[in-house]
Chain A
Amino acid sequence: MDTLNVVGNPAIHDQHSNLILLGKMDYACDRLPGRKLYSAFKSSSIAHGAVKSIDPAAALALPGVKAVITYKDCPVWSPNIFQWGQEVAGVVAIDAGTAARAALLIKVTYDVSKPVIDPDESMKPGASSVGVIQGKNTLIANYLTRGGGGEAGMAKADVTLETVQPWSTTYQHNTLETHSAVAEWAGDQVKVWCSSQSAFNGKWEVAAALNLPINHVHFFTHGTGCAHGDKNSSPFAVVAAVMSKAVGGQAVQVALTRRDNMLFNTRQFSVRSAIKLGAKKDGTFTGIDAEFWGDVGRNPMAPVDNAHFGLRTTYTCPDADFKVTRVVTNTPQRGFWRCVNDPPGAFNYDIAIDKLADKLGMDPFALRMKNLRAPDAPDQDPPNRVWGGNGVGLCFDKVYTSSGYQSKWHKPGTRVLADGRLHGIAITGHLDSHGYIVGSTRGALVTITADGKCLVNVGGGRGSEGGLTSCCIITAEALGMPPEDVVCGDWGNTDVALDGGMQAGSTFTASAGGAFYNAALDARAKLFAAAVNHSPFFSLKVTPDQLEAKNGFVYLKSDPSQRLSYKQVMAGTPPIAGYGTGWNATLRSRSVGGVAQGSVCNANGSAAACAELAVDTETGQVEILGYWNAVDTGRTIFKQGAIKEMLSGCELMIHQALFAGDVYDIPSGACISTQFNESMVPTAMDMKGERFNVYDLESDDAAGPYGAHGMGEPCVTNYSAIICAIFNATGKWVDPEKGACTPNKVLKALGKA
């Protein structure tokens, strides 16, 4: 690897730390204090059906109420009800309490249909329609046959395994900041401050919904209080704009209550699977026949299509079938949320691999290594691209050696700790469907100012992932500037930035970061063009191509003592703007020994985790003794941010495995886990951080800027290690029953409950 000054520098902290610690980071509801109205919603008391009538009279009669809007006024609402708690009307009032009281006074009648809450019920032939997709409840999301297909592979096998995995957990994030927006009209133009991760998506959503010219919408998103994909879409920006219009343009704040937010926010889908694996006696895979069903709630377009991705790409297998089906239900929407696709899919196929290992009498890690694809091997499926980087082997090796797995693994149910509890350990991992580069739609703007410093304007919001700081680091490195001279000028402001896409850990660093790399190169070229007009370069008749930049100086390549600081170059020079768009196809080609390996390569992150735990057979309690989380970052751009992400990844994986899960009242379709205490959110007391071990590994992937993958998603994907470790401890598989591996379910697996 080449020597970099700024990229990966562990001394660099989040650019916005100071703003946050001074309480100056502004989130949507922090805007326009003292001159805005407030809102509350009337949500449906049924899970399926249609609104028959709405009577707002009593609400409008309440003093302080300014307006009531219904689905008839708001283009993102519908009279058709697909889940319990769906918004059907909203109140604007002088304070939040008055709005909430008024919302209760709105009378709504419904035509009620039978809700379908259970995905197994939804899949049955002749099931009641969920109503989302006309005439059916399922939708094929992905289908792929390799070689002769799964059955041909089974015919070549010495050993086959067939397993039906029950539904995994439905995991929701519960963003601390609820979905929020403040809107205000000035004439025919609207300003919206929103909790969105994606300023330009929000701008387009508002413009499209209200049929406005795009330049009549001014969209701002600064602080985003927890996001992780859940805040990609901004329907409440539209609602706020409609409400503001209804009160003559006065500012209106929409801030979901905790209950409304939990009913609206996206969840990671749960997965059921039927997996057949065939292998030779030595463990070599001969065939895979894997079918996954994803419960997508009321969102038929939820991204479940890559539930099989890790199984498809991580291991070599000549004959295979993969199929993924969406199953709609009358429950809250599934969608983007911390690594959609991979975790629930991996949860199921990792269990299948461990079951096969048990049948073969093999160490499941050894079975994985037996079939792991070589990092430089092209994808087994069309278009058979090479991988820009495939560090899954690095990740497996790291957690294997650092955890001491070799000396700790034992046959299932055979090791008892000194205190009588059962010991278990397992490793899972995969090449992830995230971390890739998204086209060329991302834009970037950097400005070198008169004082020789650089402003970076990012067109995405500020979520949790450190993406804005990463863009500044990439810019500083490409410009040859010290990191303290490159600051985030503004972000999430559609008036002063180019579209940076959604600020999310899965793609932002590789995609928007690539745009900033290009913008920095553009600015640097302009800077060099300006520099040659200054002495000593002018007197030496230097041309721009003879210059280089580093540490805040422009210097002559052939004689570095001939140099000017950025400030000296910029003296008397107008500010220099550099523009860039997202990583282009040519640069996405991985170069090996100077030879391009194809016009476009895959560029995905990967990760592996090892869980070591103890199971109390009397109480069913699981204690994490150690957790090792290794992530292939390609190249770590923002070191501190990467470490934070991986540590939080450990916490979230433990949460997914042991805590999470929605709870429904099946007959009515009511979700009854709508508060933090009901959805068992982990607190500081649940942290076993001294037992977390995280590793950012660099596979030197030439596809992203400085070889970077996005890494925010892969670091939360391997919670399957925990259920596999529970099996290693007990010799019994826990049925998650659409939730987490709670003590009661562990006891049930042990035959004690």
Chain B
Amino acid sequence: MADLEEQEKFMEKKVEGSGLSRREFLRNAGFVVGGASLGSLAFLNACSSGSTSTVTETKTVTAGAGTTVTVTAPAVTVTGTGTTSTAPANLVNLNVNGIDYWGVVSPEWTLAYVLREKLGLIATKRGCDWGDCGVCVVLMDSRPVMSCVVLALEASGKKIETLEGLAPKIGATLDPLQQAFINNDAMQCGFCTAGQIMTAKALLAFKPSPTVAEIKEFLAGTICRCGAYMGIIAAVKSQAK
């Protein structure tokens, strides 16, 4: 998404189920996307009631055709609207699927919560909220993490990859691992699928030729309650070099 024009198109896409363009959605959620939109940021939603907070940040973004520019976000003084928690405001920068997002978060917000509720990236699911089931696995700097036990603050400045980043458009060519899941009927209800794929993605990057035993061990942290394990294991094995 280096091209600004493409990024603009991306911003005008409707966020599933919200009825809003992505730009409107993020603005409502207190987040902005890096690049052209940075100057218009307004961190209104995540600030405590009646209090004020001033935030500034400098960010280097790629502004198309390989041109790199450094942008300093204007100092923004935010007065709380009374719609949010008492937690102090904290600015984070999340690079998700190659796109920079900026926003103010409550210290208790998890990465999973921000991905789903603030960035609208719903492929990452919430299963247990304490690192037991693995359906929320995403890659953080190429390592699989359970995003329900990673605070958004911890993820700031890190590169996050979610299922949406593999083949972001309906009709686009699927990632070979995604296609392998179809070929092997490696899902039933689909709720754990994003976690399974992202975990497997990390495994195959770390070890391109895993044995079945290694696949089982690596995937053991992501539960499938429908019992589609056999298809999942076969799908991952089919992608071993």
Contact = CB atoms under 8 A, between A and B. Distances in A.
B174 interface: yes
A681 B25 contact: no
Contacts of A675: 128, 130, 132
A34 B16 contact: no
B77 interface: no
Contacts of A25: 190
Interface in A323-377: none
Interface string A654-685: 00000000000000000000011100010111
Interface string A686-700: 010110100000000
A626 B49 CA distance: 62
Nearest to A464: B188
Interface stretch (B2-10, B33-41, B224-232): B224-232
A98 B85 contact: yes
B164 A23 contact: yes
Interface string A164-182: 0000000001111110000
B84 A676 contact: no
Nearest to A648: B227
A210 interface: no
Interface stretch (B64-72, B118-126, B153-161): B118-126
B139 interface: no
B89 interface: no
Interface string A466-503: 10000000000000000000000000000000000000
B113 to A, nearest CB: 7
B170 A22 contact: yes
Contacts of B188: 464-466, 644, 648
Nearest to B219: A684
Nearest to A645: B188
B127 interface: yes
Contact of A677 (B86, B132, B135, B167): B132
Identify the interface centre among A223, A684, A692: most chain B CB within 10 Å of its CB.
Answer: A684
Interface string A25-44: 11101111111000000000
Interface string A637-654: 000110110011111100
Given A14-B187, A463-B189, A648-B227, A684 B233 contact: yes
B29 A94 contact: no
Contacts of A385: none
Contacts, number: 215
A96 B108 CA distance: 10
Given A21-B193, A226-B189, A464-B226, A676 B133 contact: yes
A403 interface: no
B132 A21 contact: no
Interface in B19-61: 20, 25, 28-29, 48-49
A401 interface: no
B12 interface: no
B86 A643 contact: no
B96 interface: no
A463 B231 CA distance: 17
A376 B224 CA distance: 40
Given A21-B178, A31-B17, A34-B28, A684 B220 contact: yes
A672 to B, nearest CB: 15
Dominant SS among interface residues on chain B: loop
A27 B132 contact: no
Contacts of B185: 13-14, 17, 640-641, 643-644
Which secondary structure dominates where chain A touches chain B?
loop
A558 interface: no
A63 interface: yes
A33 B18 contact: yes
Size band of the A side of the interface? 35 or more
A651 B227 contact: yes
Nearest to B221: A683
Contacts of A752: none
Contacts of A643: 185
Contacts of A45: none
A175 B190 CA distance: 12
B197 A684 contact: no
Name the residue in A13, A35, A173, A640 with the highest tally of chain B Cβ atoms < 10 Å from its Cβ: A35
Contacts of A16: 190
A30 B17 contact: yes
A689 B128 CA distance: 26
A211 interface: no
7 contacts: A20-B190, A21-B167, A24-B170, A29-B116, A226-B226, A648-B230, A684-B220
The 3 tightest CB contacts between A and B, nearest first, are: A23-B123, A648-B227, A225-B191
Given A22-B123, A466-B188, 15 more contacts: A14-B185, A20-B193, A23-B194, A24-B16, A25-B190, A26-B17, A34-B25, A63-B48, A64-B83, A177-B189, A225-B191, A226-B191, A684-B222, A684-B233, A692-B230
Interface of B: 15-18, 20, 25, 28-29, 48-49, 82-86, 106, 108-109, 113, 116-118, 120-130, 132-133, 135, 162-164, 167-168, 170, 174, 178, 181-182, 185, 187-194, 197, 212, 215-217, 219-233
